[in-house]
């Protein structure tokens, strides 16, 4: 998002051209911006939700200086025609654009390519509409699960087949923000979103090279449903839920089933970092912590000095937790730094509205950390 805004401001390059016309410009510009921000690890991405549904025929919006997105006013499918969706041609148009970006990325970085696409639930939300899909989640879950399985079998699994034929050493990163606990609840997240991923990966030889790390909103396992009875109209109360810890553990197990590589704590999860530290040590996995866009948004800052102090303290807590994990679990010699996955500290989104002094502040706290010492 930041690179697009800069290229638009400096050269008048608009969204469609930015993504679709020159993979070398796309990769080099993003690499340059990452280095200027002070990042030591390069992580390539694109407008993955829009790019996953556009090959199916979904109308896509390309604003001048903002990422592409599916047009919410012109959805592609409904209950009557959902099974008419076939397998697109992955050698042309958007899939070919993504292939080119991955090949060009590998040239200067040497990193194994990572295909980033939607999961069945998020793809369904983009081509069916968020609200109609949510209504069916509640009233017609069998139809939803049938749709998700069809999207996995007819679209996403064939796309991954195509990808791994070209890049056998690659990875596929699935993204499913729409299917997160925060939006559809932890039970539906497990029984629909995560279930559909396991369904489409059944019998796939590359299943251990596919992961989804962006389910968000773990805190919803620790609160009860909103209570309205005997209260003024419109008033709602969220109380601590009995068995919240056991529900959180169950959700964590489900998330690990589609990401056995590392555990991610995202900003919108809200659950304390200590829970994730405990879980990764028990499971002998790496820990990744996301820095959310609200944490570095310049428009929400009233006192920059106070925010910088608060951010530094929070980052020190994250770094200390990751250091303890690195010293405890069985990591490879390169500490996974050479892989295509998000780093141990990961900026979820940096854009033109970010406060770059906070980004610098976070990076400084990371670099002040003493190297971890492997325990024998």
In a domain, 334, yes or no: yes
Same domain, 218 and 320: no
Whether residue 239 is found in the same domain as residue 269: no
| Torsion sign across C-alpha atoms 40, 46, 47, 48 | negative
Do strands 287-291 and 345-347 pair parallel, antiparallel, or not at all (unpaired)? parallel
- Is 316 a domain residue? yes
Which of 88-92, 224-228, 245-249, 341-345 has the least mean pLDDT? 224-228
Which tens digit of pLDDT belongs to each residue from 176-208? 999 999 999 999 999 999 999 999 999 999 999
Q: Which two tokens stand for residue 107?
A: 């040239």
Is the same domain home to 235 and 267? Answer: no
Burial 277-289 (b: 16+ CB within 10 A, else e): bebbbeeebbbbb
pTM of the predicted protein model: 0.92
Both 107 and 200 in one domain: the answer is: yes
d(C-alpha 95, C-alpha 162), whole Å = 10
Q: Are residues 213 and 270 in the same domain?
A: no
Query: In whole angstroms, how far apart are CA 170 and each of 9, 50, 167, 185, 208?
Result: 34, 22, 5, 32, 11
Choose the final residue of a domain: 188, 214, 244. Answer: 244
Q: Is 372 left (phi over 0), alpha (psi -120 to 50) or beta?
A: beta
Residue 255 lies in a domain: no
Which pairs count as long-range contacts for 69-78, CB under 8 Å and 24+ apart, including other chains? Answer: 70/126, 70/127, 72/129, 72/130, 75/127, 75/128, 75/129, 75/132, 76/127, 76/128, 77/127, 77/128, 78/128, 78/132
Mean pLDDT of 73-83: 88
* Backbone dihedral region for residue 284 (phi beyond 0: left; psi -120 to 50: alpha; all else: beta): left
Residue whose pair of structure tokens reads 């299917």 in the numeric block: 179
Please check whether residues 195 and 282 belong to one and the same domain: no
Of the chain, the percentage scoring pLDDT greater than 90 comes to: 83
Q: How big is the CA angle at 189 (ends 185 and 190), to the nearest 5 degrees?
A: 125
Q: Is 113 exposed, middle or buried (0-12, 13-18, 19+ CB in 10 A)?
A: buried
Q: Return the pLDDT at 232.
A: 34
Number of domains composing the chain? 2
Distance CA 79, CA 241 (A): 36
Cα–Cα distance, 121 to 149 (Å, whole number): 9
Same-domain check for residues 306 and 339: yes
Q: Residue 298 pLDDT more than 50?
A: yes
CATH number of the domain to which 70 belongs: 3.20.20.210
Residue (of 176, 92, 185) closest to 138 by Cα position: 185
Strands 287-291, 69-70: pairing kind: unpaired
Tell me, yes or no, whether 234 and 269 share the same domain: no
Domain boundary among 198, 216, 244: 244
Examine residue 56 and state whether it is found in any structural domain, yes or no: yes
Q: Residue 33: enclosing H or E segment and its boundaries? A: helix 23-37
Whether 86 is in a domain gets the answer yes
Domain range for 217 is 2-244
Which position has the token pair 């670099």?
367
Residue 254 in any domain: the answer is no
Confirm whether 250 is domain-assigned. no
- DSSP helix/strand/coil, 286: coil
Q: Where is the domain boundary, 195, 214, 244?
A: 244
Examine the domain organization and report whether 75 and 195 are in the same domain.
yes
Same domain, 10 and 140: yes
Whether 237 has a pLDDT exceeding 50, the answer reads: no
236 shares its domain with 266 = no
Q: What is the mean pLDDT of residues 33-43?
A: 89
Cβ atoms 271, 222 nearer than 8 A: yes
128: three-class secondary structure by DSSP = helix
Sign of CA dihedral 342, 348, 352, 353: negative
Tokens linked to 367: 């670099």
First to last CA, the chain: 43
- Residue 225 confidence (pLDDT) above 70: no
Same domain, 313 and 200: no
Summarize pLDDT for 308-346 with one digit per residue, the tens. Answer: 999 999 999 999 999 999 999 998 888 887 888 888 999
**Beta strands, E only, the chain:** 60-61, 69-70, 114-118, 171-175, 210-212, 263-265, 287-291, 345-347
3-state per-residue secondary structure call for 290-335: EECHHHHEHHHCCCHHHHHHHHHHHHHHHHHHHHHHHHHCCCCCCC
Q: Rounded to 5 degrees, what are φ and ψ at 114?
A: -125, 120
């Amino acid at each position: 998002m930041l690179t697009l805004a800069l290229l638009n401001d400096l050269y008048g390059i608009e969204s469609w051209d930015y993504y679709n016309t020159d993979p070398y410009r796309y990769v080099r510009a993003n690499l340059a911006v990452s280095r200027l921000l002070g990042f030591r690890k390069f992580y390539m991405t694109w407008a993955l939700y829009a790019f996953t549904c556009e090959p199916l025929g979904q109308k896509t919006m390309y604003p001048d200086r903002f990422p592409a997105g599916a047009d919410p006013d012109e959805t592609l499918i409904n209950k009557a025609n959902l099974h008419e969706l076939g397998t697109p041609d992955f050698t042309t148009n958007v899939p070919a654009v993504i292939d080119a970006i991955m090949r060009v990325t590998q040239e200067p970085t040497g990193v194994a390519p990572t295909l980033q696409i939607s999961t069945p639930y998020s793809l369904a939300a983009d081509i069916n509409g968020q609200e109609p899909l949510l209504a069916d989640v509640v009233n017609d879950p069998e139809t939803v699960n049938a749709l998700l399985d069809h999207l996995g079998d007819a679209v996403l699994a064939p796309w991954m087949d195509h990808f791994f034929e070209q890049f056998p050493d690659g990875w596929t990163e699935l993204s499913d923000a729409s299917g997160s606990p925060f939006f559809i609840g932890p039970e539906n997240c497990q029984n629909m979103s995560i279930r559909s991923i396991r369904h489409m990966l059944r019998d796939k030889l590359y299943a251990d090279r596919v992961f989804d790390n962006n389910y968000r909103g773990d805190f919803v396992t620790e609160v009860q449903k909103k209570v309205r009875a005997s209260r003024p109209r419109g008033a709602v109360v969220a109380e601590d839920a009995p068995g919240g810890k056991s529900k959180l553990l169950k959700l964590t197990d489900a998330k690990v089933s589609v990401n056995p590589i590392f555990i991610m704590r995202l900003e919108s999860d809200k659950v304390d970092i200590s829970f994730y530290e405990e879980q990764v040590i028990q499971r002998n996995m790496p820990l990744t912590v996301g820095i959310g866009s609200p944490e570095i948004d310049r428009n929400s800052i009233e006192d920059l000095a106070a925010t910088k102090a608060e951010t530094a303290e929070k980052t020190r807590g994250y770094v200390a937790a990751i250091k303890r994990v690195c010293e405890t679990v069985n990591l490879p010699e390169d500490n996974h730094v050479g892989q295509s996955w998000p780093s141990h500290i990961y900026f979820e989104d940096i854009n033109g509205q970010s406060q770059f002094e906070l980004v610098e502040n976070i990076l400084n706290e990371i670099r002040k950390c003493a190297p971890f010492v492997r325990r024998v």
